[in-house]
């Protein structure tokens, strides 16, 4: 697939493992630059605009770090409340204007579908950094990258996705990548936060071996990799409902005792109570390493979308 100029809205745009591998392979090669062990300013003539209309620390910092490590310049909103959107400007107008000032645009927005909308009238490369409860494609790529780094192979793994499968956009994007691998999936959530029907249809279509449950214990002894998620408070209309569900699953050392030996634990972060801090020193706790991997994946994507090749030597 051709990445040049792409408006990257959804992991559904990646049509095969080959497409995924192009990004992962490049991420691997740029790692030394992302860690500051090697230097490049290959994008010194480029400007990246970041628009974050929803809270973000990891995603924003790792996009910024990725751009800086490639020598690009960044323009961004310091505080969304200073944005012209608050004067009543439409998203269309804001983006059309931002496009005049930059070469690539990264946006996070609270509404599902906003990234697709944006892509309809933009002509510059664009990256969806999360659209409401919709998708978060760069997170999914860094998740797959992390799984490979932690486990070497994805094929053959039993993977449990646990927590808020309804509103968790990282889950939605990740499943669209995992469908290409030979895995077994356990989808564990409270009934109220179960996986959307559309995503189940995708799993059926790709003949993924999956089971749905409300209980972690059912599959813990055979799970190789556990991907925990936060109950997405900001998507709830009824805050009492959130209060009831927020502590449905908590991973502590007791859970690890019951789990298969060598269990890997991922989480897109931020965590609230889903993983107790006593787990942080467990060798399979990969969530901080996972956050670090965001830089390399985003460097790779920026290079691909701007069609710049690093001269690796
Ligand atoms: C996730 C998100 O924003 O969707 N965080 C992130 O980007 N690392 C997950 C979350 O907020 O729960």
Write the pLDDT tens digit of every residue in 170-209: 999 999 999 999 999 999 999 999 999 999 999 999 999 9
In Å, how far are 191, 261, 300 from 303, measured between CA atoms?
41, 39, 5
Active site residues: 58-59, 87, 108, 136
The residue assigned the tokens 């969806």 is 128
What does pTM read for this prediction?
0.96
d(CA 169, CA 163): 12
Tell me 160's DSSP state. E
Pocket of ligand 1 (CB under 6 A): 58-59, 130, 136, 139, 169-170, 230, 268-269
Write the pLDDT tens digit of every residue in 29-68: 999 999 999 999 999 999 999 999 998 999 999 999 999 9
Give the mutation target among 115, 170, 231, 287 for probing the ligand 1 site: most ligand atoms within 8 A of CB: 170
Encoding tokens for residue 49?
A: 């605009």
């Amino acid at each position: 697939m051709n990445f040049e100029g792409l408006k990257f809205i959804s992991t559904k745009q990646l049509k095969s493992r080959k497409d995924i591998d192009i990004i992962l392979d490049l991420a691997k090669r740029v790692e030394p630059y992302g860690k500051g062990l090697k230097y490049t300013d290959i994008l010194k003539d480029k400007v990246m605009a970041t628009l974050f209309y929803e809270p973000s620390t990891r995603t924003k910092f790792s996009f910024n770090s990725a751009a800086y490590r490639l020598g690009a310049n960044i323009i961004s909103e310091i505080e969304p409340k200073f944005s012209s959107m608050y004067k009543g400007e439409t998203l269309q107008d804001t983006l059309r204007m931002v496009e005049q000032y930059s070469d690539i645009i990264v946006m996070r927005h609270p509404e599902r579908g906003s990234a697709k909308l944006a892509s309809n009238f933009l002509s510059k490369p664009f990256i969806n950094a999360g659209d409401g409860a919709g998708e978060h494609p760069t997170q999914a790529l860094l998740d797959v990258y992390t799984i490979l780094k932690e486990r070497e192979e994805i094929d053959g793994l039993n993977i449990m996705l646990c927590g808020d499968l309804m509103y968790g956009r990282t889950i939605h994007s990740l499943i669209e990548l995992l469908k290409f691998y030979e895995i077994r999936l356990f989808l564990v959530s409270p009934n109220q936060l179960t996986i959307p029907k559309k995503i189940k249809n995708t799993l059926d279509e790709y003949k993924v071996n999956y089971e749905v449950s409300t209980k972690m214990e059912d599959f813990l002894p055979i799970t190789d990799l556990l991907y925990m998620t936060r109950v997405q408070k900001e998507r709830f209309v009824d805050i009492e409902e959130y209060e009831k569900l927020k502590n449905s699953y908590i991973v502590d050392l007791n859970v690890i005792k019951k789990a298969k030996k060598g269990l890997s634990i991922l989480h897109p972060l931020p965590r609230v109570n889903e993983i107790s801090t006593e787990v942080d020193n467990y060798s399979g706790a990969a969530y901080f390493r996972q956050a670090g991997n965001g830089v390399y994946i985003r460097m790779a994507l920026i290079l691909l979308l701007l069609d710049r090749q690093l001269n690796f030597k």
